[in-house]
Amino acid sequence: MDSSVFPLLFLVAVAAAFWLLILRPAKARAATQRSLIESVTPGDRILMASGMIGTVVTRGDGELEIEIAPSVVVTIVDQAVARVLTTPTVDEESGTDQTAAPSGSTTDTN
């Protein structure tokens, strides 16, 4: 085998490792974030990337209106959503909204 082939093989191996270790996981994280943002609906309690917690009031094109305190509504870009903390559910018997905590969470009963 010619010695000029080895540098080319090394370059291909480095490119493959870069793709496997950097690009694939980044695309998976981006897809997960995109699906999280698409799943946010009014009434959801969310954690923003800034660390603030609020409840989604309305959803617009690339924006969310979040109530962060009683009668205090701010507009944020939907990319600022870090996590959905709770999702509203409707109680079948009474027809009232109930707030369901995500699985694995604990509730303080003090």
For 38-55, the pLDDT digits (tens) are 999 999 999 999 999 999
Higher-pLDDT residue of 104, 25: 25
CA distance 83 to 102: 11
pLDDT of 64 strictly over 70: yes
So what's the pLDDT on residue 21? 87
Mean pLDDT rounded to a whole number for the chain: 82
CA 64-69-73 angle, 5° bins: 35
The backbone torsions φ and ψ at residue 11, rounded to the nearest 5 degrees and listed phi first, read: -65, -40
Q: What is the token pair recorded at 80?
A: 């600022």
pLDDT of 107 strictly over 50: no
Residue 103 — pLDDT band, cuts 50, 70, 90?
Answer: very low
Domain ranges in the chain?
Answer: 1-39, 41-104
State the distance between the two ends of the chain, measured CA to CA, in whole angstroms.
74
